[in-house]
Structure formats: structure tokens, C-alpha cells
Amino acid sequence: MNAQSQIAAKAAIDPENFALANCLRALAIDAVNAANSGHPGAPMGMADAATVLFRKHLKFDASAPDWPDRDRFVLSNGHASMLLYGLLHLTGYEDMTIDQIRNFRQWGAITAGHPEWGHAKGVETTTGPLGQGLATAVGMALAERALAAEFPDLVDHRTWVMLGDGCLQEGIGQEAISLAGHLKLGKLNLLYDDNDITIDGPTSVSFSEDVPARFGACGWHVISCDGHDATALDAAMTAARAETSRPTLIAMKTTIGFGAPNRAGTAKAHGSPLGDQEGALAKAALGWDAAPFDIPADLAASWQEIGARGAKERKAWEATLAASPDAKAFNDRVSGKLPENYAADVQKARSDLFAKPQNVATRKASQIALESLAAAVPAMIGGSADLTGSNLTRVGAVDRQYTADMPGRYIGYGVREFGMAAAMNGLALHGGFKPYGGTFLVFSDYARNAIRLSALMGLGVTYVMTHDSIGLGEDGPTHQPVEHLASLRAIPNLNVFRPADAVETLEAWDIALRSPATPSLMALSRQNVPQLRESGPENLSEKGAYILRQYGEGRDVTLLATGTEVALAIEAAEKLHNEDYAVTVVSMPCWELFDAQPEEYRESVLGTAPRIAIEAASAFGWTRYVDREADVIGMPGFGASAPAERLYSEFGITTDAIITLAKTQIGK
């Protein structure tokens, strides 16, 4: 059977679905050609499945994009963005106009090269880095199940994901499918675009595993079908909706660039425009004769009906919500509102620290803070990447484990740092939860790309990263973070906290919970530190840096420090003061918040005297506050395996080193 006969055979199965799918294919061809940039092949290949999904199975209402009980649709292979934009435009999302489609990938348009959350209604998450959409969708499914347990009459929806081979080749893909299968997330459904093509050519170049068998081994319900057969796709999606005890994979055998006579089924259809000639040939083969960006009136009307078919169900749900005694609690949860008594609970936790100072590691201080805050904020949902006993992320209020049988408030992510971070993004995006999860700071590298997406999307996710320096000791340099603080501080819109004591740790948590549009990362110590703050109602950490101690009149030198090194700075300052030097100690728990303060405040904190920075990490980045890296007492390279005290001594992070450098600076 030649290509034209194959197209005709697929069209005959369900002519209406085929014609509607051609609207998506035509828009993808036109938009990518107009931009002279993009990926037409995947939208053309997945158009039949997307049409069946939106036409018959997806619960949504285009007129109410943020309806809390809508199904979530995630395009994990985000390079196929024109498929999503076409769906949103055709079904009637108000902001996705034809002008936005015409301006695909152009400055100021909401039709970015890869879908970006917050730019266009109907885009549930930012996708592009392959595999993260899938893992984020796992978080959405986790959230749906947990919220449904609390509000059973108000929450009942599914998470649908489209993905390709790249999402499954990335390591995060395996982390995601393994966790979802283990927790039996039965309302998670994947549509796998099995087209045998990657950028480098046929998948046989690098990928030969049995994907359905792999999913089956991870506990998934697996269905295989022809991705261009609308009847088979409908049956597969119906079966997926009927299966509630396991997540479902629908492996769809498709042709990339379906309809393009010279590029279909080849890598040439993946990441380059078809061009005018091939685009015209593809349209002719598909039986499409409308002008560029023009949708025939009858097909446009049918798509509008698809976009409106969920309105009745949405209005019925709204009536149920209005009559529910849980309406206020539910609305507060999905809006991210903190409980009315939240400020009082924070103040009580602060007062408790002042009444009974805690000389503990900041990871323990974090647990102490969580004991109060998790009890006060029902939206908090915790977890750890198999390091609960080290991260100290589990407290009484979230003690119930999230299992396949019961969605508790504590998720055992296993050794899946990347998957955990992306799933937390999904929990936050879904609404109703303020997620946090823990691992070692050195393993933030495994999670870094998802942390970056937290910051890019502006999500209030909290990363609990313990064992923050060479102070972890004997585990050695493979576990001792040196460059990590600097690299994380380089990410825009990420608040990196390295608190000095129990009070600053509580304050960091308070800031994190009150920052719905900025993720927070806590760098917490293994070794004990003294509680340095003794009184005061103000959250001084909110300023990013502040004067903690002042010895003598005026200033001869200013000591800047974070975390465990603040106590060292104070000890050195006291000794210098005994020799009649005037010394100011500045604690800098969060550079990002300090840099956001008015210039007048920053100048008052930093002063004009010589400055020295102390941090048991790389000196990189500190020259924004000190004159040169030689003014930083930190790590020149990697650490070593030995007790913490020996390491600090060997690497010269000591009070004596601070005093010597301070006297040198003062003498200049």
C-alpha cells in the first residue's frame, strides 16, 4: 500500500476525526513555516490521538481554563508545542487567538517555542527538557489522589500525558514511571508517540528496548494500538479510563510528519519546517485545500463544540461546590491561602525558641520548625529521596506515609532526586499543596533542572538540602558540596537559604511558605550550631542579611558569613574586640533577598570598612560583597574524608584565620 492509500485508509476509519485532526496538522505546518523554526513532525503524527482525546475523553471547559476539577493535559514532548497551541486555539481558549498562532516563536507572543506555564491558559506546565513533563504529571496525579481523599465530593479527575521516545530515554522518565507504578496512580494515563524517530535518525541508533514490557515490569496497565486509527484510539482511552488500580500506557504506533510525502517517517520531519513546497504537498495528500491559517467554518464550529462540551459538567461541579460545607476550606486550599492563624503559629514557634534555645544542627532546627508549621498548614506535603533520617523531613503532622492504598502527607520518593523535584513541581501546579522534599545538598545536581523549572515557572516549592558543607565530615568529597551554593545562587528567582541557627531556620521556612511565586532551597548543616538570636519579633532573615553583632564604636572590619560559619565569625569578632578592634558581624542567610533590599539598607549593613567573607564553600560569587576572592575564607577545591573539626582546621576555616586576615585588612 503506497503512502496515499495509507492516508486514505486511515481517513476512512473515522472521517470526522480525520478532518478535525487535519486542522491541527495544517496549523502546525503553517506556523512552523511562518516562523521558519519549530517541529512540525510530532504535531502531525499525534494529531489523530489528540483529537480523539479532546473530542471524547478529556474533561475540560475552554471557557473556564482554571476549573479545579478539570483533567490535566501535559505535553511532555514540548517541542510539539504547535499541537497544544492548535488545540487551545481551535477549542476556544480566549487568549489563544489566530494572531498568536501566526506569531509562533516570536517576541511577545504566548506561543513560545516550548509551552510555558503562565503564558497561555491551558498550558498546565512548562515543558521542553524531555521527561520532566512526565515526572511533573506524576506529581499532579499524586496531588489529585491526596486532595480527593480530603475532599471526595469535589475532586475526581485524571492526568493525561503525551510523550515521545526522548521522554523515556532521559533518566527522569524511568524515575517517574517507576514511582507512578509503585504507587498505583490509576488516574494517570500516558499516550506514547511511538514513531521510531529521534533527531539523530531512527531510534535504532540508540534505543531498542521493549517499551511496553518495561512499563509492564513497573506495574503499569499497557495497551498498544495504531496511533492513526481513531476507533482503536477511542477504545484504548476508554480502557484506560476504566482501569483505576494502575496507571496506563497507551503505546501508539505513529508516523512522524504524517501526510508529508517526502519527509513522513524520517528525522527530517522532526525539527525543521517542511517549507512551502513540502507543506503544500502534505496538505494535498491530506485533502486540505484551505488557505494558510484558515480553518473551514464547519470544522471550526465542530472544534468550538468540543471546547464547550465540558461546560455542563463544570457548572454541575460548581453547584456542588457552592452547596458543600467544605467550600471555603477547598477554595482556600486551591488558592494557596495560608490558614488564618498562621502568623500566630509562627510567632509561637519563635517564642518557644527564645524561651528554650536550641543549640542544634540546622537540619534539626528545620525539623523543629516543621513540627509547628506542618501542623498549622494542612497544605504542606513532605517527602525525601530515601534520606528521611538524615534530612529530618518527617514530623508528626505529616507522619502518614503516602502509599498505593492511602495518600498520606509524606511521600517516600526513593532514590529519585530528579523525579522528586519534578513531582513537587506537579504538586504545586495542581493546586492545594505546598510541597517540600529533601536530599543532600551535593545531590541538588541530580535535581537541578527541575529546580530551574521551579524558578522559571515561579512555584512555591521548598527544597530541603542537608549536609551543606565539608562539615559532614567522613563521607568525603563525593558528598561534600563545594560549588553547589554558587551554582544554585546563579539561578534567577530561587531563594537559597543557609541559616545560621534555629531562629534563622524558622524564619527561612516562614518566608518559603509565604512565597508562592518563588521556590526556596534550604542548605542545612549536619553539625550543631549555637542559637545566636535571643529575642525579637521581626523576621530579620527576610532582609537577606542583617547586622547580628556589633563590637565597639564604629567599624574597623566587617565579617560576612552564612550558616555554620556565622558562629565562627562571632568568635573571631569577640577576640578581635578584646584587642580593641571594632568589628561588625553580618549574617547573610539569603543573598537573593538581600540584593532585593533598597540600596540604603544594603550600604548600612555592608558599611565602608574592609570586609571579609566566611563560608565553607567555593569563594565564587562573593566578590559582589568583598573586594576580591582573597578576602574570602572558604574552600579552594574539593574536601576530604575526615572528622569535620579536622577538615575545618586543614582547610583554614578557623577563627585564627579570620583574625589574621582581619588584622591584615585593617592594617592596609
Rounded CA separation 565/593 (Å): 19
Q: Quick one: cell of 371?
A: 513540627
Rounded CA separation 363/183 (Å): 28
Is 130 part of any known ligand binding site? yes
Q: Quick one: cell of 610?
A: 574592609
Is 533 part of any known ligand binding site? no
Catalytic residue among 417, 504, 507, 615: 417
Number of Cβ within 10 Å of residue 627's Cβ equals 11
Exposure pattern of 208-220 as b/e (b: 16+ CB <10 Å)? eeebbebbeebbb
Is 526 part of any known ligand binding site? yes
Number of Cβ within 10 Å of residue 199's Cβ equals 11
Q: In what order do the strands lie in the sheet with 159-163?
A: 72-75, 159-163, 188-194, 248-253, 221-226
Is 270 part of any known ligand binding site? yes
Rounded CA separation 77/131 (Å): 8
Number of Cβ within 10 Å of residue 369's Cβ equals 26
Is 228 part of any known ligand binding site? no
Judged on CB neighbours under 10 Å (0-12, 13-18, 19+), 490 is exposed
Cβ(550)–Cβ(380) below 8 Å: no
The closest alpha carbon to 37, from 274, 252, 201, belongs to: 274
Number of Cβ within 10 Å of residue 340's Cβ equals 8
Is 165 part of any known ligand binding site? yes
Number of Cβ within 10 Å of residue 82's Cβ equals 30
List CB contacts of 213: < 8 A, sequence separation 6 or more. Answer: none
List CB contacts of 228: < 8 A, sequence separation 6 or more. Answer: 10, 48, 254, 255, 258
Number of Cβ within 10 Å of residue 547's Cβ equals 15
Rounded CA separation 180/402 (Å): 12
Is 390 part of any known ligand binding site? yes
Rounded CA separation 180/220 (Å): 8
Coil vs helix vs strand at 526: coil
Verify whether residue 417 is a known catalytic residue.
yes
Is 204 part of any known ligand binding site? no
Rounded CA separation 361/196 (Å): 52
Is 443 part of any known ligand binding site? yes
Exposure pattern of 266-298 as b/e (b: 16+ CB <10 Å)? bbbbbebbbeeebbebbbebbebeeebeebeee
Rounded CA separation 244/49 (Å): 21
The closest alpha carbon to 46, from 180, 150, 195, belongs to: 195
Rounded CA separation 159/135 (Å): 12
Is 129 part of any known ligand binding site? yes
List CB contacts of 294: < 8 A, sequence separation 6 or more. Answer: none
Is 479 part of any known ligand binding site? yes
Q: Quick one: cell of 311?
A: 461546560
Is 331 part of any known ligand binding site? no
- Residue 626: what residue type? V
Rounded CA separation 596/598 (Å): 7
Rounded CA separation 635/377 (Å): 39
Rounded CA separation 546/503 (Å): 14
Q: Which residues are annotated as a binding site for Mg(2+)?
A: 165, 195, 197
Q: Which residues are annotated as a binding site?
A: 39, 79, 128-130, 165-166, 195, 197, 270, 363, 390, 443, 467, 475, 479, 526
Q: Which residues are annotated as a binding site for substrate?
A: 39, 270, 363, 390, 467, 475, 479, 526
Q: Which residues are annotated as a binding site for thiamine diphosphate?
A: 79, 128-130, 166, 195, 270, 443
Active-site annotation, residues: 417
